[in-house]
A and B are shown apart, each in its own frame.
Chain A
Amino acid sequence: AQTVTQSQPEMSVQEAETVTLSCTYDTSESDYYLFWYKQPPSRQMILVIRQEAYKQQNATENRFSVNFQKAAKSFSLKISDSQLGDAAMYFCAYRSAYLNFGNEKLTFGTGTRLTIIP
């Protein structure tokens, strides 16, 4: 079974600075997807960025980018120019590319709470 580990329960960053959230995962599969979801105080789960394992190029979405190290099974999220609206819980998630009995289950880490300091 796959596992996802987020070793930083809490992080803080000064507004306009850059912060990196860590995520490692364990899998024996060669093809999969990785996601970062943001959960603001409203509790809504918002997709931030996703990465396909077969792509070597790191995904980017505006101020958000990832550092995907497949051999190390590491998938960190970098937030540049941090803004107050970035304050949230961030979850890393894994999904197999092989649909096991049709189950597209996301395996989540335990989350990192990010605080932005004005």
Chain B
Amino acid sequence: EAQVTQNPRYLITVTGKKLTVTCSQNMNHEYMSWYRQDPGLGLRQIYYSMNVEVTDKGDVPEGYKVSRKEKRNFPLILESPSPNQTSLYFCASSSPRIDETQYFGPGTRLLVL
């Protein structure tokens, strides 16, 4: 089954404790992206990757890091989480040469205390 997976789905952590949210897709998509969803703000892009070893900032990159060492994986790293990073996070992927549609993972709900 073609899908985007994220882990963990739910996470409660404390300020300053480094964490990683994993994202993996099995569709051989070149493009991957991270969004965060906050009430009243919709979804906003954090980082994106055009392909392996090619990443760039989106609209709200502060406090986040990413890497793209393999085509299927695009982890989101919070080096020192703060309460304002409490949010719902989505990973998405697509293949620009084939389809304009982005396919989303199930989301990761993060609470930073």
Show the binding face of A for B, using Cβ within 8 Å.
Answer: 4, 33, 35, 37, 42-45, 47, 50, 52, 91, 93, 95, 99, 101-106, 108-111
Contact = CB atoms under 8 A, between A and B. Distances in A.
**Interface pairs A-B: 4 shortest CB-CB:** A108-B42, A102-B50, A45-B104, A108-B43
Contacts of A106: 35, 43, 45, 92, 102
Given A47-B101, A91-B42, A95-B100, A103 B106 contact: no
Interface of B: 31, 33, 35, 40-45, 48, 50, 54, 56, 58-59, 88, 90, 92, 94, 96, 100-104, 106-107, 109
Given A110-B42, A111-B42, A105 B88 contact: no
User: Which of B33, B58, B94, B101 has the most chain A CB atoms closer than 10 A to its own CB?
Assistant: B101
A93 B48 CA distance: 17
A102 B58 CA distance: 12
A105 B48 contact: yes
B101 A50 contact: yes
